[in-house]
Amino acid sequence: MISLYNEILYRPLLNVLVFFYKTIAFEDLGLAIIFMTILIRLLLFPLFHKSARHQTVMQSLQPRIKKIQEDHKGDKEKQMRATMAVYKEHGVSPFSGFLLILIQLPVLIAIYQIFWKSLKPGALEGLYGFIVPPASIGTSFLGLINLGEKSILMVALAALAQYFQAKMSLPRVDGGRVLSPAERASRQMVFIGPVITLVIFYNLPAAISLYWLVATVFSIVQQRIVNKQIANGKSGTINQKNN
């Protein structure tokens, strides 16, 4: 299993990083990380796009879910059937977020290992024969930030970008409407997510924070596309009805 993971994820991503580092990144690790992150997100674009769309539509359905819970307060089975019927009507699934996490996890682990090892001796073992290894990998990003050390600035930017990304996925609330517990929890996550980012990335090399920042900025752009599609009624496989 470990060898399969190395051949499918770790080695390909390591070679992509080194290739970018030696070519279009002009031996700047920060630029190589940015190019690699963009490539990864382009390859996974359909998956992330669908997930972002599902999340946005499910947020907008919370008032209907709340009404269902009030209408069938004493019957959990009817609540569940009616809720699932609403999800089916709009072509979304409450489990889509978990699926995306499961798919992302091996990729995130591989990227973490690459950034962690690329800053240590012997990191270039495992390169393909056609990839010319550099004598060493510098840790500078535009001559301003040492990506081999922790950077409060990079962590703060990553957390700030995550805040804006989460905020964009929330639907507008009509004045005076009481939020359901699920809606309140979603809005609290707008602040909890960035705090978790600060805690997790604070002591890690800035290279990992840079990856997370670029990936989140990509998600912000993707979320804007999703929001426009839904606003214009062009929601793809999601049939969002206002009934």
Q: What distance in Å separates the CA atoms of residue 150 and residue 135, rounded to the nearest whole number?
A: 24
Q: What confidence tens digit (pLDDT) does each residue in 76-91 have?
A: 888 888 888 888 887 7
Q: Mean pLDDT across the stretch 219-224?
A: 86
C-alpha to C-alpha distance for 221 and 228, rounded to whole angstroms = 11
In Å, the largest CA–CA distance within the chain is 69
pLDDT of residue 210: 93
- At residue 238, the pLDDT reads 43
How far is the CA of 111 from the CAs of 16, 63, 68, 95, 219, in angstroms?
11, 39, 43, 25, 17
Q: How far apart are CA 205 and CA 119, in angstroms?
A: 9
- Cα separation, 157 vs 141, whole angstroms: 15
| Cα distances (angstroms) measured from residue 59 to each of 143, 155, 233 | 42, 28, 16
Which residue is associated with the tokens 């409060």? 152
Amino acid residing at 157? L
Per-residue pLDDT tens over the stretch 47-69: 777 777 777 777 777 778 878 88
Phi-psi region of 92 (alpha: psi -120 to 50; beta: other; left: phi over 0): beta
